[in-house]
Structure 1
Amino acid sequence: MTRDYYELPKSTLIMRFLWKCAGGDRYLLERSTYSDQIKYMCLGGIVFATGAMAGLAGGYAFYTIFEPRGSAIENPIDAQTVILALFFGVIWGLMIFNIDRFIVTSTGKGDGTEAITIGELKSAFPRIIMGIIIAMTISKPVEIRMFKTEIDIKLREKQLEQQADYQAKVDKTYSDREKLLEKEFGNIAKERNDLNERIKNSEKEYIDQLNGRVEGSVPGDGKLAGALKAKLDDLTNQLKEFDVKNGKNLAELNKRKEELRTAKEKERNNNEKIANGLDGLLERIKIAHEVSGFWISLFITLLFMAIELTPIFFKLMLTKTTYDYLAENRDELIKAENGIEVRYDYYKDKQGIERHLIINHEADKLMFEKIKISEIQRELTNYAVSKYKERELKKIDDNLEDYIKNINE
């Protein structure tokens, strides 16, 4: 708009985009002051930046949740998850952007002064709570990305501890199962183990005698060696007879033992996979709190809260300027154009609060017309009924006998 006393610089595409982000009216801003334009441009920049940060944080959180599990140190980037995370990040960023835009545009100007009163805080309290929640959802993914190196090291230590604990549990579990299995088959396994142990001892005595390792005896294949050989053969025969006698039960026992060992090895092979599963978003947030400490974590959260809540407090602190008066004039013109009258602070309700009286002249006019038409219709109907009554009375006066006859029939 051209003025002799004041000329505004032409608005750029970026400036108009940021005005739109802040919910500003381009038509009015191009007719107000340069300071109004800068205020709404900065406000829109904060809203846009918050949405962009929310998109990045949401995308990173999505990737952390759905990425393939592996070693916290050596975990390559998965392209498919990256594409999905980018898509989700854009959707999440747009959601937060629209919520922030709604919060900013619905906050209003408060009382139009720089001071923030208790009443203004009360009215803005729901929006402040929403802003705090949004700030926390943005800050946590950013926090775990900031301390990613330290978190990865700590997380890898936990994964290794998890592997060791799981392996110990697997060994104990299957050892207990094997003991229960042997107990189920009674003394068969114990007797066979005892026979095997006696055979081993007897074989050792026989070999020691042959090699001259037994003190007080003549080395070589003598009478003592023969006796030891006979004892060894006897025990071996007892083992064969035992196996023949209990072959079926022993085969079943060995089969089930082998099944247990196979299952145990399978579980041990799953050890690393299960330990690598300890790499979720919640675990990383916990470690981030351990690594950063309470104060640093709180500082990061408060920083994002400040960014998120700045537009709300910014609008409450704004004084009325040319843009606001133009906006009020626009609103009044639109009301007048549509026949809407507002009588401010016209009456007090039951609680003593002053209320506005809203008069919709267009609606009142239409209602008045409808009422009048309805009244005329009633008058015409009454007149028609009265005329009909007069005509019927005349018929009765002229032909009374015929009327009575028709009634009796």
Structure 2
Amino acid sequence: MNRLSSFFIFCSGAVNSVLRRCPTDYIKYQGIGATILFTGIFSAISAGYALYTVFQSYVASLFFATLWGMMIFNLDRYIVSGMRKKDNFFKEMAMAAPRVVLAIFIGIVIATPLELKLFESEINAEIGMMQQETYKKQDDLLNKRYEAEVKVVNDEIILLRNKLNKSDTERTIRTSEALAEADGTGGSKIRAMGNIYRAKAKAAEKAEQDYQMAYTEFNPKLDEQVAKLKAIEERKSADLKNLNRAALTGFASRLKALQRLTSTEEAIKLAGFFITLLFLIIECSPILVKLISERSPYDQRLDTLETEYHLANLKNTTISKLATDSQLTFENKTAGFRVSEMINAENEIFAHALREEKEQLMGKKEGWFALLRKRRIFDF
């Protein structure tokens, strides 16, 4: 067996010392190991692209992508090596169900960043549209913020201009009538007719005076309002420049763009579905191989070793328990015997003391009755 085959078997999580006794299972576990290895590589590539969109650094992306790929590789290796072929298919399914769910999540995590890379040009175009929408919302909010103030100033400007225009129109009409009366083209049709001309000339002169008065009164106010409007526009322009116009280059923005594309573009939605399905199949394939394959010599040999280990462990546990029980029984009996002997010894000592006291009492001259009255029989 060459080094590549040995490496694939290592990737599968198989016990090499057991697999050597089952050469018919070499191909099976080499295939499982290769699948686990390529899943780890795909996950590292996927994580590298996703992390680069966050850190914008090749070194950081490479470092964390390697860690992520190794973690997924080790997790897949553990999932597959932890499965055991049993004689009951439903028990195998119940045992494999949590691992299948975990494999599905891993497959989705791997597939999503690769989808972002595969549809990069479409996503960039969608991000451009999202940026324009964001800018428009910002502009609308800014315009709404200044809308009332601008309206007040514009209304005042319109009012002042209307007053000036009205006065100017009146002046123009009166001047035209006076000129027409002077040259005989209007009014009485007589050139420079005395009273009529003088009346119209006087009206034109008054209209000129009214206009000059209106101009003197309203033009400064108009200039003031125009200056105020200009100041408002300058403030609005300054606020517009200070708005956050940062480009949407983050990972979340790309995910949102992909979501918008899949909701509107059926082709991208279908392609994304099949890409995700492909990685789900790749991720679940080692587990599926374990489930659909027959119980192999490797599985039987591994069960035998595990059974022997459990029996040996049970034997050691039983022996240890029996030894502990025997020790406890011996200690209990010894303690009981010791207590019994101590009680007997104390009884003998007490009996001996009573005998000595009795002999002392018998030797005294006072009678028993007197001693009882004095309560001194046991007066030591």
Distance 1:311 1:215 in 2: 105
Query: Which residue identity is paired with 1:106?
Result: G
Match of 2:279 in 1: 304
Amino acid aligned to 2:81: T
Q: Read off the aligned partner of 2:215 and give its amino acid letter.
A: T
Q: Any conservation in 1 of the 2:357–2:378 contact (CA below 8 Å)?
A: no
SS of the residue corresponding to residue 245 of structure 2 reads helix
> What residue in structure 2 maps to residue 40 of structure 1?
29
For residue 104 of structure 1, give the secondary structure of its aligned residue in structure 2.
helix
Query: Which range moves more in the overlay, 327-336 or 127-136?
Result: 327-336
Structure 1 residue 286: Cα displacement:
0.6
Letter in 2 for 1:37: Y
Q: Tell me, yes or no, if the aligned pair for 1:209 and 1:225 is still in contact at 8 Å.
A: yes
Quote how far apart the aligned CAs of 1:307 are.
0.7
Corresponding residue of 1:100: 76
How far apart, in 2, do the equivalents of 1:209 and 1:408 lie? 155
Equivalents in 1 of 2:257, 2:96: separation in Å? Answer: 34
1:237 equivalenced with 2:208 (yes/no): no
The CA distance in 2 between the partners of 1:329 and 1:311, in whole Å, is 23
Q: 1:177–1:19: structure 2 CA closer, same or farther, 3 Å change rule?
A: farther
Match of 1:160 among 118, 132, 136: 132
Q: 1:400 to 1:162 in 2, by over 3 A?
A: same
Measure the CA separation in 1 of the matches of 2:377 and 2:172: 145
> Could you tell me which amino acid in structure 1 is paired with residue 95 of structure 2?
S
Instruction: Give how far 1:259 is off.
Output: 7.0
CA–CA separation in structure 2 for the residues paired with 1:294 and 1:318: 34
Q: Spell out the pairing of 1:5-404 with structure 2 (5 A cutoff).
A: 9=1, 11-12=2-3, 14-29=4-19, 31-64=20-53, 66=54, 78-79=56-57, 82-111=58-87, 117-179=89-151, 182=152, 194-199=159-164, 202=167, 216=180, 227=206, 229-239=208-218, 260-269=232-241, 273=245, 276=248, 280-289=253-262, 290-291=264-265, 292-335=267-310, 338-341=312-315, 360-400=317-357
Q: 1:227 to 1:328 in 2, by over 3 A?
A: same
Cα RMSD for the two superposed structures: 4.3
* Matched position secondary structure for 1:386: helix
* Paired residue type of 1:381: R
Q: Compute the displacement of 1:226 (Å).
A: 5.4
Decide whether aligned partners of structure 1 residues 399 and 196 sit closer, same or farther in structure 2, where only a CA change above 3 A counts. Answer: farther
Aligned residues: 345
Letter in 2 for 1:340: L
Q: State the one-letter code of the partner of 1:285.
A: L
SS at match of 2:294: coil
Pair 1:232–1:406, CA change in 2 (3 A): farther
1:272-299 Cα shifts (integer Å, max 9, x gaps): 7167479714313314524444432222
Does structure 1 conserve the Cα–Cα contact (< 8 Å) formed by 2:167 and 2:210? yes
* Contact 1:160 1:275 (8 Å CA) reproduced: no
Mapped to 1, the partners of 2:326 and 2:87 lie a distance apart of 41
CA contact (8 A) 1:163 1:275 kept: no
Does the 8 Å contact 1:36/1:323 carry over to 2? yes
Asked if structure 1 preserves the Cα contact closer than 8 Å seen for 2:126 and 2:257, the reply is no
Question: Does structure 1 retain, via aligned residues, the 8 Å contact 2:41–2:69?
Answer: yes
- Asked whether the 8 Å contact 1:131–1:308 carries over to 2, the reply is yes
For residues 333-390 of structure 1, the C-alpha deviation after alignment (integer angstroms, 9 at most, x for no partner) is 4345x4425xxxxxxxxxxxxxxxxx83343244234323433442343244234324
What is the identity, as a one-letter code, of the residue corresponding to 1:312? I
SS at match of 2:163: helix
In structure 2, the partner of 1:74 is none
* 1:162–1:275 Cα contact (<8 Å) kept: no
Shift in Å, 1:254: 7.2
For residue 310 of structure 1, report the CA deviation from its aligned partner.
0.8
Distance (whole Å) between structure 1 residues aligned to residue 321 and residue 306 of structure 2 = 20
Letter of the 1:23 counterpart: G
Aligned AA (1:28)? V
Note the C-alpha offset of 1:397. Answer: 3.2
8 A contact 2:80–2:286 mirrored in 1: yes
- The gaps in structure 1 that reach 5 residues or longer are 1-8, 68-77, 183-187, 244-249, 342-358
- Deviations, residues 110-136 of structure 1 (Å, cap 9, x unaligned): 328xxxx44432332222222222212
**What is the TM-score when the length of structure 2 is the normalising length?**
0.72
How much has 1:262 moved relative to structure 2?
4.6
Percent of matched pairs sharing the same residue = 22
Change (3 A) 1:264 1:322: same
